[in-house]
Chains A and B, each alone.
Chain A
Amino acid sequence: METYYDIVFEGKTIPGKDPLEVRKALASVLKKDAGTVETLFSGRPFTLRRQVEGETAEKFKSKFESAGAICVLKPVAGAVEPAGQPTSASIPSAAPKKSLPATGHILLTNVENIPGMTTVEHFGLVAGSTIRAKHIGRDIMASFRNLVGGEIKSYTELLQESRQQATERMMEQARQLGANAVVNVRYSTSSIAQGAAELYAYGTAVRVE
Protein backbone atom coordinates (compact mmCIF):
# COMPACT_ATOMS: atom_id res chain seq x y z
CA MET A 1 0.00 0.00 0.00
CA GLU A 2 1.33 3.39 -0.88
CA THR A 3 1.66 6.10 1.68
CA TYR A 4 0.21 9.46 0.97
CA TYR A 5 1.63 12.71 2.26
CA ASP A 6 0.55 16.25 2.78
CA ILE A 7 3.24 18.76 1.85
CA VAL A 8 3.18 21.36 4.60
CA PHE A 9 5.03 24.67 4.56
CA GLU A 10 5.60 26.32 7.89
CA GLY A 11 7.27 29.49 6.77
CA LYS A 12 10.83 28.23 6.99
CA THR A 13 13.22 29.15 4.24
CA ILE A 14 16.65 27.84 3.44
CA PRO A 15 19.07 29.95 5.47
CA GLY A 16 21.20 32.25 3.38
CA LYS A 17 18.60 32.72 0.68
CA ASP A 18 17.22 36.17 0.04
CA PRO A 19 13.61 36.15 1.37
CA LEU A 20 12.37 38.26 -1.55
CA GLU A 21 13.85 35.82 -4.04
CA VAL A 22 12.22 32.92 -2.24
CA ARG A 23 8.86 34.63 -2.40
CA LYS A 24 9.22 35.31 -6.11
CA ALA A 25 10.33 31.78 -6.87
CA LEU A 26 7.54 30.33 -4.78
CA ALA A 27 5.01 32.55 -6.53
CA SER A 28 6.04 31.23 -9.92
CA VAL A 29 6.16 27.60 -8.76
CA LEU A 30 2.76 27.76 -7.12
CA LYS A 31 1.34 30.02 -9.83
CA LYS A 32 -0.11 32.42 -7.30
CA ASP A 33 0.22 36.19 -7.00
CA ALA A 34 2.42 38.01 -4.54
CA GLY A 35 -0.37 38.68 -2.06
CA THR A 36 -1.27 35.03 -1.63
CA VAL A 37 2.36 33.97 -1.32
CA GLU A 38 2.87 36.58 1.40
CA THR A 39 0.24 34.95 3.58
CA LEU A 40 2.18 31.68 3.45
CA PHE A 41 4.88 33.34 5.54
CA SER A 42 2.55 34.30 8.37
CA GLY A 43 3.96 31.59 10.58
CA ARG A 44 1.04 29.21 10.41
CA PRO A 45 1.46 25.92 8.62
CA PHE A 46 0.00 25.78 5.13
CA THR A 47 -0.70 22.61 3.23
CA LEU A 48 0.65 23.24 -0.24
CA ARG A 49 -0.28 19.87 -1.68
CA ARG A 50 -2.65 17.32 -0.23
CA GLN A 51 -2.49 13.55 -0.36
CA VAL A 52 0.34 13.13 -2.76
CA GLU A 53 1.79 9.64 -3.05
CA GLY A 54 5.36 8.95 -1.97
CA GLU A 55 7.54 9.52 -4.99
CA THR A 56 5.60 12.53 -6.30
CA ALA A 57 5.72 13.98 -2.82
CA GLU A 58 9.50 13.79 -2.85
CA LYS A 59 9.56 15.49 -6.25
CA PHE A 60 7.37 18.32 -4.99
CA LYS A 61 9.50 18.72 -1.88
CA SER A 62 12.67 19.13 -3.90
CA LYS A 63 10.94 21.55 -6.28
CA PHE A 64 9.91 23.75 -3.40
CA GLU A 65 13.34 23.46 -1.86
CA SER A 66 14.96 24.66 -5.04
CA ALA A 67 12.71 27.70 -4.75
CA GLY A 68 14.04 28.13 -1.23
CA ALA A 69 11.14 26.90 0.88
CA ILE A 70 11.63 24.08 3.38
CA CYS A 71 8.63 21.79 3.40
CA VAL A 72 7.70 18.92 5.61
CA LEU A 73 6.09 15.73 4.38
CA LYS A 74 3.39 14.65 6.78
CA PRO A 75 1.96 11.22 6.21
CA VAL A 76 -1.80 11.04 5.84
CA ALA A 77 -3.40 8.19 7.72
CA GLY A 78 -6.65 6.60 6.75
CA ALA A 79 -8.41 6.23 3.41
CA VAL A 80 -7.59 8.68 0.69
CA GLU A 81 -10.52 10.86 -0.30
CA PRO A 82 -10.85 12.76 -3.55
CA ALA A 83 -9.25 16.17 -3.41
CA GLY A 84 -11.51 19.10 -2.71
CA GLN A 85 -13.61 17.49 -0.03
CA PRO A 86 -12.82 18.13 3.58
CA THR A 87 -11.99 14.85 5.26
CA SER A 88 -14.38 13.81 7.97
CA ALA A 89 -13.58 14.11 11.62
CA SER A 90 -13.24 10.33 11.97
CA ILE A 91 -9.66 10.43 10.78
CA PRO A 92 -7.45 9.82 13.81
CA SER A 93 -5.63 12.85 14.97
CA ALA A 94 -2.29 11.44 13.94
CA ALA A 95 -2.69 13.88 11.03
CA PRO A 96 -1.91 17.23 12.63
CA LYS A 97 -4.46 19.28 10.67
CA LYS A 98 -7.73 17.57 9.88
CA SER A 99 -10.29 18.36 7.25
CA LEU A 100 -8.69 21.49 5.88
CA PRO A 101 -9.85 22.38 2.43
CA ALA A 102 -7.24 22.26 -0.29
CA THR A 103 -4.94 25.25 -0.19
CA GLY A 104 -6.53 28.32 -1.62
CA HIS A 105 -9.94 26.79 -1.68
CA ILE A 106 -12.42 28.82 0.31
CA LEU A 107 -15.58 27.32 1.72
CA LEU A 108 -18.70 29.41 1.48
CA THR A 109 -21.92 29.23 3.41
CA ASN A 110 -24.71 31.60 4.14
CA VAL A 111 -25.27 30.38 7.66
CA GLU A 112 -23.38 31.51 10.72
CA ASN A 113 -20.66 28.89 10.53
CA ILE A 114 -19.42 25.94 8.51
CA PRO A 115 -21.55 23.06 9.74
CA GLY A 116 -19.42 20.29 11.16
CA MET A 117 -16.34 22.41 11.64
CA THR A 118 -15.12 24.71 14.36
CA THR A 119 -14.40 28.33 13.73
CA VAL A 120 -11.03 29.19 15.16
CA GLU A 121 -10.67 32.87 14.34
CA HIS A 122 -12.31 35.51 12.22
CA PHE A 123 -11.01 38.38 10.18
CA GLY A 124 -14.01 40.61 9.76
CA LEU A 125 -15.80 41.68 6.64
CA VAL A 126 -14.70 40.67 3.15
CA ALA A 127 -16.42 41.74 -0.03
CA GLY A 128 -16.19 41.24 -3.74
CA SER A 129 -17.87 43.37 -6.35
CA THR A 130 -17.84 43.53 -10.08
CA ILE A 131 -19.65 45.22 -12.91
CA ARG A 132 -19.57 43.65 -16.34
CA ALA A 133 -21.01 44.55 -19.68
CA LYS A 134 -21.71 42.40 -22.71
CA HIS A 135 -20.63 43.65 -26.09
CA ILE A 136 -23.13 45.24 -28.39
CA GLY A 137 -23.55 42.29 -30.71
CA ARG A 138 -25.14 40.33 -27.90
CA ASP A 139 -27.39 43.28 -27.03
CA ILE A 140 -28.74 43.33 -30.55
CA MET A 141 -29.32 39.59 -30.52
CA ALA A 142 -31.10 39.95 -27.21
CA SER A 143 -33.43 42.60 -28.55
CA PHE A 144 -34.34 40.28 -31.38
CA ARG A 145 -35.04 37.65 -28.80
CA ASN A 146 -37.43 40.06 -27.14
CA LEU A 147 -39.70 39.61 -30.10
CA VAL A 148 -39.99 35.85 -29.87
CA GLY A 149 -39.44 35.21 -26.17
CA GLY A 150 -37.40 32.51 -24.56
CA GLU A 151 -34.15 32.48 -22.66
CA ILE A 152 -31.65 35.15 -23.51
CA LYS A 153 -28.52 33.04 -23.17
CA SER A 154 -26.10 35.90 -23.51
CA TYR A 155 -27.61 37.77 -20.56
CA THR A 156 -27.77 34.62 -18.46
CA GLU A 157 -24.09 34.14 -19.19
CA LEU A 158 -23.36 37.74 -18.32
CA LEU A 159 -25.05 37.48 -14.96
CA GLN A 160 -23.39 34.17 -14.20
CA GLU A 161 -19.97 35.56 -15.06
CA SER A 162 -20.71 38.59 -12.93
CA ARG A 163 -21.74 36.52 -9.95
CA GLN A 164 -18.75 34.24 -10.43
CA GLN A 165 -16.31 37.10 -10.55
CA ALA A 166 -17.78 38.84 -7.51
CA THR A 167 -17.60 35.61 -5.51
CA GLU A 168 -14.04 34.97 -6.72
CA ARG A 169 -12.96 38.43 -5.63
CA MET A 170 -14.51 37.96 -2.21
CA MET A 171 -12.70 34.64 -1.85
CA GLU A 172 -9.45 36.23 -2.99
CA GLN A 173 -9.74 38.89 -0.33
CA ALA A 174 -10.46 36.20 2.27
CA ARG A 175 -7.41 34.28 1.10
CA GLN A 176 -5.24 37.33 1.50
CA LEU A 177 -6.35 37.66 5.10
CA GLY A 178 -5.44 34.04 5.75
CA ALA A 179 -8.95 32.69 5.98
CA ASN A 180 -10.15 29.45 4.51
CA ALA A 181 -13.89 30.03 4.67
CA VAL A 182 -16.41 32.82 4.34
CA VAL A 183 -19.61 32.54 6.33
CA ASN A 184 -22.88 34.35 6.18
CA VAL A 185 -22.43 35.34 2.57
CA ARG A 186 -24.91 37.82 1.14
CA TYR A 187 -25.41 38.92 -2.45
CA SER A 188 -26.75 42.26 -3.51
CA THR A 189 -26.83 44.50 -6.50
CA SER A 190 -27.36 48.13 -7.36
CA SER A 191 -28.58 48.86 -10.86
CA ILE A 192 -25.99 51.51 -11.42
CA ALA A 193 -25.56 51.27 -15.14
CA GLN A 194 -28.05 50.16 -17.70
CA GLY A 195 -26.92 47.25 -19.77
CA ALA A 196 -24.29 46.15 -17.28
CA ALA A 197 -24.61 43.53 -14.56
CA GLU A 198 -23.38 44.63 -11.17
CA LEU A 199 -23.04 42.23 -8.30
CA TYR A 200 -21.75 42.55 -4.76
CA ALA A 201 -20.97 39.61 -2.49
CA TYR A 202 -19.95 40.08 1.14
CA GLY A 203 -19.44 37.90 4.18
CA THR A 204 -17.29 37.24 7.21
CA ALA A 205 -13.91 35.66 6.63
CA VAL A 206 -13.06 32.93 9.12
CA ARG A 207 -10.56 30.19 9.60
CA VAL A 208 -12.09 26.84 10.33
CA GLU A 209 -10.74 23.51 11.40
Chain B
Amino acid sequence: MKYTPRLPVSEVNVTPRSALKEFVLLAGALTGIVVGGYLVLGLAVDLIVPRLSVDFEKKLAGAFFSALESKPGRTEHERWVQTLTDRLQARCAGLPYRLKIRVQESPAVNALALPGGHVVVFSGLLNTVASENELAFILAHEMGHFNHRDHLRGAGRALVLMTISAALFGPDSDISAALGHVLNITELSFSRGQETAADEFGLDVLQCAYGHAAGATDFFRKIPASQDPGVFGHYFSSHPENQRRISHLDALIGQKGYETGGENTRG
Protein backbone atom coordinates (compact mmCIF):
# COMPACT_ATOMS: atom_id res chain seq x y z
CA MET B 1 0.00 0.00 0.00
CA LYS B 2 1.76 3.09 -1.12
CA TYR B 3 1.46 6.48 0.42
CA THR B 4 0.54 9.47 -1.68
CA PRO B 5 1.37 12.67 0.10
CA ARG B 6 -1.32 15.25 -0.57
CA LEU B 7 -2.79 18.17 1.29
CA PRO B 8 -6.49 19.06 1.34
CA VAL B 9 -7.49 22.06 -0.72
CA SER B 10 -9.80 23.86 1.67
CA GLU B 11 -10.30 24.19 5.39
CA VAL B 12 -13.21 21.84 5.88
CA ASN B 13 -13.35 22.08 9.62
CA VAL B 14 -13.98 25.80 9.86
CA THR B 15 -17.21 27.37 8.71
CA PRO B 16 -16.25 30.06 6.20
CA ARG B 17 -17.85 32.90 8.04
CA SER B 18 -16.27 36.18 9.06
CA ALA B 19 -16.07 36.41 12.85
CA LEU B 20 -16.78 40.14 12.93
CA LYS B 21 -19.80 39.93 10.64
CA GLU B 22 -21.18 37.13 12.75
CA PHE B 23 -20.79 39.21 15.90
CA VAL B 24 -22.47 42.26 14.41
CA LEU B 25 -25.34 40.21 13.04
CA LEU B 26 -26.02 38.29 16.22
CA ALA B 27 -25.61 41.24 18.56
CA GLY B 28 -27.86 43.34 16.35
CA ALA B 29 -30.52 40.65 16.25
CA LEU B 30 -30.40 40.23 20.00
CA THR B 31 -30.71 43.95 20.75
CA GLY B 32 -33.54 44.16 18.25
CA ILE B 33 -35.41 41.36 19.95
CA VAL B 34 -34.80 42.76 23.41
CA VAL B 35 -35.93 46.27 22.49
CA GLY B 36 -38.95 44.91 20.64
CA GLY B 37 -39.84 42.68 23.55
CA TYR B 38 -39.52 45.57 25.97
CA LEU B 39 -41.86 47.74 23.96
CA VAL B 40 -44.41 44.96 23.62
CA LEU B 41 -44.14 44.31 27.33
CA GLY B 42 -44.68 47.96 28.11
CA LEU B 43 -47.85 47.96 26.03
CA ALA B 44 -49.09 44.78 27.64
CA VAL B 45 -48.46 46.06 31.14
CA ASP B 46 -50.18 49.33 30.35
CA LEU B 47 -53.20 47.39 29.22
CA ILE B 48 -53.32 44.97 32.12
CA VAL B 49 -52.43 47.16 35.07
CA PRO B 50 -55.50 49.41 35.13
CA ARG B 51 -57.58 46.28 35.28
CA LEU B 52 -55.87 44.88 38.32
CA SER B 53 -58.24 44.99 41.23
CA VAL B 54 -57.36 46.80 44.38
CA ASP B 55 -57.71 43.62 46.40
CA PHE B 56 -55.14 41.90 44.24
CA GLU B 57 -52.79 44.80 44.67
CA LYS B 58 -53.21 44.67 48.42
CA LYS B 59 -52.42 40.97 48.42
CA LEU B 60 -49.30 41.50 46.34
CA ALA B 61 -48.20 44.32 48.54
CA GLY B 62 -48.92 42.35 51.65
CA ALA B 63 -46.35 39.79 50.65
CA PHE B 64 -43.62 42.36 50.21
CA PHE B 65 -44.51 44.93 52.77
CA SER B 66 -45.75 42.92 55.70
CA ALA B 67 -42.96 44.50 57.70
CA LEU B 68 -44.48 47.87 57.12
CA GLU B 69 -47.95 46.71 58.11
CA SER B 70 -47.02 45.26 61.43
CA LYS B 71 -45.02 48.02 63.00
CA PRO B 72 -45.87 48.23 66.65
CA GLY B 73 -46.95 51.63 67.85
CA ARG B 74 -46.84 54.78 65.86
CA THR B 75 -45.01 57.96 66.54
CA GLU B 76 -46.74 61.25 66.96
CA HIS B 77 -45.45 62.44 63.61
CA GLU B 78 -46.95 59.44 61.91
CA ARG B 79 -50.29 59.91 63.52
CA TRP B 80 -50.34 63.56 62.59
CA VAL B 81 -49.46 62.90 58.96
CA GLN B 82 -51.95 60.04 58.89
CA THR B 83 -54.70 62.30 60.13
CA LEU B 84 -53.87 64.87 57.48
CA THR B 85 -53.92 62.19 54.82
CA ASP B 86 -57.23 60.81 56.00
CA ARG B 87 -58.75 64.28 55.89
CA LEU B 88 -57.55 64.83 52.37
CA GLN B 89 -58.76 61.44 51.29
CA ALA B 90 -62.14 61.69 52.89
CA ARG B 91 -62.98 65.06 51.46
CA CYS B 92 -61.28 65.28 48.15
CA ALA B 93 -59.36 62.31 46.85
CA GLY B 94 -61.58 59.34 46.17
CA LEU B 95 -59.19 56.41 46.47
CA PRO B 96 -60.54 52.91 46.97
CA TYR B 97 -58.18 52.23 49.84
CA ARG B 98 -56.91 54.07 52.80
CA LEU B 99 -53.34 55.21 52.57
CA LYS B 100 -51.14 54.04 55.38
CA ILE B 101 -48.44 56.46 56.38
CA ARG B 102 -45.14 55.46 57.82
CA VAL B 103 -42.53 57.91 58.86
CA GLN B 104 -38.99 56.70 58.45
CA GLU B 105 -36.19 58.33 60.38
CA SER B 106 -33.81 59.46 57.72
CA PRO B 107 -32.23 62.70 56.61
CA ALA B 108 -33.54 62.04 53.10
CA VAL B 109 -36.00 64.64 51.96
CA ASN B 110 -38.31 62.31 50.14
CA ALA B 111 -41.51 60.30 50.17
CA LEU B 112 -42.26 56.97 48.51
CA ALA B 113 -45.45 55.55 47.13
CA LEU B 114 -45.39 51.77 47.45
CA PRO B 115 -47.92 49.18 46.26
CA GLY B 116 -50.78 48.41 48.62
CA GLY B 117 -51.41 51.98 49.61
CA HIS B 118 -48.29 52.41 51.66
CA VAL B 119 -46.60 55.76 51.75
CA VAL B 120 -43.24 56.10 53.39
CA VAL B 121 -42.39 59.65 54.41
CA PHE B 122 -38.86 60.36 55.47
CA SER B 123 -38.35 62.54 58.51
CA GLY B 124 -36.04 64.75 56.52
CA LEU B 125 -39.02 65.77 54.47
CA LEU B 126 -41.07 66.56 57.51
CA ASN B 127 -38.31 68.80 58.80
CA THR B 128 -38.10 70.66 55.53
CA VAL B 129 -41.71 71.53 54.97
CA ALA B 130 -42.75 74.81 56.50
CA SER B 131 -46.50 74.62 56.27
CA GLU B 132 -49.29 72.10 56.33
CA ASN B 133 -50.25 73.09 52.81
CA GLU B 134 -46.88 72.07 51.51
CA LEU B 135 -47.09 68.67 53.09
CA ALA B 136 -50.66 68.33 51.94
CA PHE B 137 -49.60 68.97 48.38
CA ILE B 138 -46.89 66.32 48.60
CA LEU B 139 -49.33 63.81 50.04
CA ALA B 140 -51.88 64.69 47.41
CA HIS B 141 -49.20 64.22 44.77
CA GLU B 142 -48.59 60.72 46.07
CA MET B 143 -52.31 60.10 46.03
CA GLY B 144 -52.25 61.09 42.41
CA HIS B 145 -49.71 58.37 41.73
CA PHE B 146 -51.90 55.84 43.44
CA ASN B 147 -54.94 57.01 41.57
CA HIS B 148 -53.24 56.48 38.23
CA ARG B 149 -51.67 53.25 39.51
CA ASP B 150 -48.27 54.49 38.41
CA HIS B 151 -46.44 52.46 40.99
CA LEU B 152 -47.84 49.25 39.60
CA ARG B 153 -46.87 49.96 36.04
CA GLY B 154 -43.24 50.46 36.83
CA ALA B 155 -43.03 47.60 39.27
CA GLY B 156 -44.98 45.28 36.97
CA ARG B 157 -42.71 45.80 34.01
CA ALA B 158 -39.59 45.58 36.11
CA LEU B 159 -40.76 42.35 37.68
CA VAL B 160 -41.53 40.68 34.38
CA LEU B 161 -38.23 41.73 32.85
CA MET B 162 -36.24 40.53 35.84
CA THR B 163 -38.05 37.20 35.73
CA ILE B 164 -37.26 36.73 32.06
CA SER B 165 -33.67 37.67 32.56
CA ALA B 166 -33.34 35.29 35.47
CA ALA B 167 -34.87 32.48 33.41
CA LEU B 168 -32.57 33.04 30.45
CA PHE B 169 -29.28 33.85 32.06
CA GLY B 170 -29.58 32.72 35.64
CA PRO B 171 -30.47 34.87 38.62
CA ASP B 172 -26.92 35.65 39.63
CA SER B 173 -25.47 36.35 36.24
CA ASP B 174 -23.91 39.65 35.26
CA ILE B 175 -26.76 40.36 32.92
CA SER B 176 -29.44 40.07 35.57
CA ALA B 177 -27.50 42.37 37.88
CA ALA B 178 -26.98 44.91 35.13
CA LEU B 179 -30.65 44.70 34.23
CA GLY B 180 -31.54 45.33 37.85
CA HIS B 181 -29.51 48.53 37.82
CA VAL B 182 -31.00 49.70 34.56
CA LEU B 183 -34.52 49.02 35.77
CA ASN B 184 -33.86 50.89 38.99
CA ILE B 185 -33.10 53.95 36.99
CA THR B 186 -35.75 53.69 34.33
CA GLU B 187 -38.70 51.94 35.88
CA LEU B 188 -38.94 52.64 39.53
CA SER B 189 -38.67 56.35 39.15
CA PHE B 190 -41.80 57.63 37.58
CA SER B 191 -41.81 59.11 34.17
CA ARG B 192 -42.25 62.78 33.56
CA GLY B 193 -45.75 62.32 32.29
CA GLN B 194 -46.71 60.43 35.41
CA GLU B 195 -45.14 63.08 37.62
CA THR B 196 -46.98 65.88 35.87
CA ALA B 197 -50.28 64.03 36.12
CA ALA B 198 -49.68 63.49 39.82
CA ASP B 199 -48.86 67.18 40.19
CA GLU B 200 -52.16 68.13 38.62
CA PHE B 201 -54.08 65.75 40.82
CA GLY B 202 -52.30 67.14 43.86
CA LEU B 203 -53.18 70.64 42.87
CA ASP B 204 -56.85 69.83 42.54
CA VAL B 205 -56.93 68.08 45.89
CA LEU B 206 -55.18 70.99 47.52
CA GLN B 207 -57.68 73.44 46.15
CA CYS B 208 -60.50 71.21 47.23
CA ALA B 209 -59.19 70.76 50.76
CA TYR B 210 -58.06 74.28 51.54
CA GLY B 211 -59.98 76.42 49.14
CA HIS B 212 -56.78 77.80 47.69
CA ALA B 213 -53.66 76.52 46.07
CA ALA B 214 -51.04 78.26 48.15
CA GLY B 215 -48.10 76.12 49.13
CA ALA B 216 -48.25 73.97 46.05
CA THR B 217 -44.98 75.13 44.61
CA ASP B 218 -43.25 75.99 47.89
CA PHE B 219 -41.57 72.67 48.15
CA PHE B 220 -40.10 72.73 44.69
CA ARG B 221 -38.65 76.16 45.20
CA LYS B 222 -36.76 74.92 48.22
CA ILE B 223 -34.85 72.19 46.51
CA PRO B 224 -31.26 73.19 45.92
CA ALA B 225 -29.76 72.71 42.52
CA SER B 226 -27.51 69.83 43.30
CA GLN B 227 -28.80 66.95 45.32
CA ASP B 228 -28.14 63.30 45.12
CA PRO B 229 -31.22 61.86 43.42
CA GLY B 230 -31.20 58.49 45.09
CA VAL B 231 -33.08 55.54 43.77
CA PHE B 232 -36.58 56.85 44.31
CA GLY B 233 -35.64 60.46 43.94
CA HIS B 234 -38.39 61.58 41.70
CA TYR B 235 -38.41 64.87 43.41
CA PHE B 236 -34.80 65.45 42.59
CA SER B 237 -34.38 64.35 39.03
CA SER B 238 -32.96 67.64 37.91
CA HIS B 239 -33.25 71.28 38.70
CA PRO B 240 -34.64 72.16 35.28
CA GLU B 241 -37.19 69.45 35.90
CA ASN B 242 -38.32 71.12 39.10
CA GLN B 243 -38.40 74.45 37.35
CA ARG B 244 -40.62 72.96 34.71
CA ARG B 245 -42.97 71.58 37.29
CA ILE B 246 -43.16 74.92 39.07
CA SER B 247 -44.00 76.67 35.83
CA HIS B 248 -46.55 74.02 34.94
CA LEU B 249 -48.26 74.31 38.32
CA ASP B 250 -48.30 78.08 38.14
CA ALA B 251 -49.84 77.88 34.70
CA LEU B 252 -52.47 75.49 35.94
CA ILE B 253 -53.26 77.70 38.91
CA GLY B 254 -53.79 80.56 36.54
CA GLN B 255 -55.85 78.41 34.21
CA LYS B 256 -58.16 77.01 36.81
CA GLY B 257 -58.49 80.25 38.62
CA TYR B 258 -57.27 79.06 41.96
CA GLU B 259 -56.33 81.68 44.43
CA THR B 260 -52.94 81.68 45.99
CA GLY B 261 -53.49 84.21 48.59
CA GLY B 262 -54.98 82.08 51.27
CA GLU B 263 -53.50 81.53 54.64
CA ASN B 264 -51.03 78.78 55.15
CA THR B 265 -51.81 76.66 58.12
CA ARG B 266 -48.74 76.09 60.22
CA GLY B 267 -48.05 72.49 61.09
CB contact under 8 A between A178 and B1, given known A129-B13, A136-B168, A173-B12: no
Contacts of B10 in A (CB 8 A): 33-35, 176
**A169 with B4: CB separation less than 8 A:** no
User: B224 to chain A: closest CB distance in Å?
Assistant: 49
**A121 with B1: CB separation less than 8 A:** yes
Q: Cα distance A123–B5 when bound, in Å?
A: 6
Q: Cα distance A121–B8 when bound, in Å?
A: 16
B63 at the interface (CB under 8 A from A): no
Q: Which of A34, A128, A173 has most B Cβ within 10 Å?
A: A173
CB contact under 8 A between A177 and B6, given known A120-B1, A122-B1: yes
CB contact under 8 A between A178 and B6, given known A120-B1, A121-B1, A136-B168: yes
A99 at the interface (CB under 8 A from B): no
Q: List which B1-44 residues lie within 8 A (CB) of chain A.
A: 1-10, 12-13
- Bitwise, B231-262 to A at CB < 8 A (1) or not (0) is 00000000000000000000000000000000
A87 at the interface (CB under 8 A from B): no
- Bitwise, A1-41 to B at CB < 8 A (1) or not (0) is 00000000000000000000000000000000111001100
Contacts of A35 in B (CB 8 A): 8-10
Q: Cα distance A123–B13 when bound, in Å?
A: 18
- Bitwise, A122-145 to B at CB < 8 A (1) or not (0) is 111011111000001000100000
Q: Cα distance A169–B13 when bound, in Å?
A: 7
**A176 with B4: CB separation less than 8 A:** no
Kindly report which residue of chain B lies nearest to residue A139, judged by CB atoms. B168
User: B29 to chain A: closest CB distance in Å?
Assistant: 11
**B12 with A121: CB separation less than 8 A:** no
Contacts of B168 in A (CB 8 A): 136
User: A124 to chain B: closest CB distance in Å?
Assistant: 7
A154 at the interface (CB under 8 A from B): no
User: B118 to chain A: closest CB distance in Å?
Assistant: 36
- The number of chain B residues touching the other chain, given as a range, is 10 to 19
- Bitwise, B83-114 to A at CB < 8 A (1) or not (0) is 00000000000000000000000000000000
Interface size on A, residues (CB 8 A): 26
**B6 with A127: CB separation less than 8 A:** no
User: B10 to chain A: closest CB distance in Å?
Assistant: 5
**B3 with A38: CB separation less than 8 A:** no
User: B243 to chain A: closest CB distance in Å?
Assistant: 47
Kindly report which residue of chain A lies nearest to residue B13, judged by CB atoms. A129
Kindly report which residue of chain B lies nearest to residue A127, judged by CB atoms. B13
Q: Cα distance A126–B4 when bound, in Å?
A: 13
Contacts of A170 in B (CB 8 A): 12
Q: Cα distance A121–B3 when bound, in Å?
A: 6
Contacts of B2 in A (CB 8 A): 120-122
Kindly report which residue of chain B lies nearest to residue A206, judged by CB atoms. B1
Q: Which of A39, A122, A128 sits near B3, CB closer than 8 Å? A: A122
Kindly report which residue of chain B lies nearest to residue A174, judged by CB atoms. B8
**A173 with B1: CB separation less than 8 A:** no
CB contact under 8 A between A177 and B1, given known A129-B13, A130-B13: no
Q: List which A50-86 residues lie within 8 A (CB) of chain B.
A: none
**B4 with A121: CB separation less than 8 A:** yes
User: A94 to chain B: closest CB distance in Å?
Assistant: 27
Kindly report which residue of chain A lies nearest to residue B7, judged by CB atoms. A177
Contacts of B7 in A (CB 8 A): 177
User: A176 to chain B: closest CB distance in Å?
Assistant: 4
User: B2 to chain A: closest CB distance in Å?
Assistant: 5
Contacts of B6 in A (CB 8 A): 123, 177-178
**A124 with B5: CB separation less than 8 A:** yes
Q: List which A189-209 residues lie within 8 A (CB) of chain B.
A: 206
Contacts of A177 in B (CB 8 A): 4, 6-8
Write the residues of chain B forming the contact surface with A, with a CB cutoff of 8 angstroms.
1-10, 12-13, 167-168
Beyond A34-B9, A140-B167, 9 extra complex contacts between A and B, CB < 8 Å: A35-B10, A38-B9, A39-B9, A127-B13, A173-B12, A173-B13, A176-B8, A177-B4, A178-B4
Give 18 A-B contacts (CB < 8 Å), ordered by A residue: A34-B9, A35-B8, A35-B10, A38-B9, A121-B1, A121-B3, A122-B1, A122-B2, A122-B4, A123-B3, A123-B4, A123-B5, A123-B6, A128-B13, A129-B13, A140-B167, A173-B8, A206-B1
Closest 5 CB pairs of A and B: A35-B9, A176-B8, A169-B12, A177-B6, A173-B8
